[in-house]
Amino acid sequence: MNNSNLIAIQAKLRLKTTDEGGRQSGIKTGYRPNHVFEYDGDGKLLSTYIGEISFEKDWIQLGAEEIVTVKFLSGQSIEKYLNTGTKWWIHEGLKVVGEAEILRV
């Protein structure tokens, strides 16, 4: 993937625990979930974006909050959401497994 086609942001990520409806295990760097910035009035996803999450540690455990880098492909109409303080949800399909907040674009 050409780095000139990527938008990198720094974010604070928290993974839900299994008891909260999250994953069964933590994540490794390179994890590529769906990122959801907006739902409609009925709670349906308006659109999802693919972004790769990377970090320095070996794993991020469930329930943990960590600072991560997320790289999104540019040109997928995501730029309007990428502002400091914006919060979004991390999905695997329709299942919400975490949430994040942009710290720096």
What CATH number is given to the structural domain containing 48? 2.40.30.10
Q: Write out pLDDT tens, residues 20-50.
A: 999 999 999 999 999 999 999 888 888 899 9
Beta strand spans in 1-105 (E) = 6-15, 27-28, 34-36, 49-54, 59-60, 65-73, 87-92, 95-104
Indicate the number of domains in the chain.
Answer: 1
Domain span at residue 99 reads 3-104
For each of the chain's 105 residues, which pLDDT tens digit applies? 456 789 999 999 999 999 999 999 999 999 999 999 999 988 888 889 999 999 999 999 999 999 999 999 887 889 999 999 999 999 999 999 999 999 999
Confidence at residue 3, expressed as pLDDT on a 0 to 100 scale? 66
Whole-model pTM: value is 0.91
The pLDDT value given to residue 73? 87
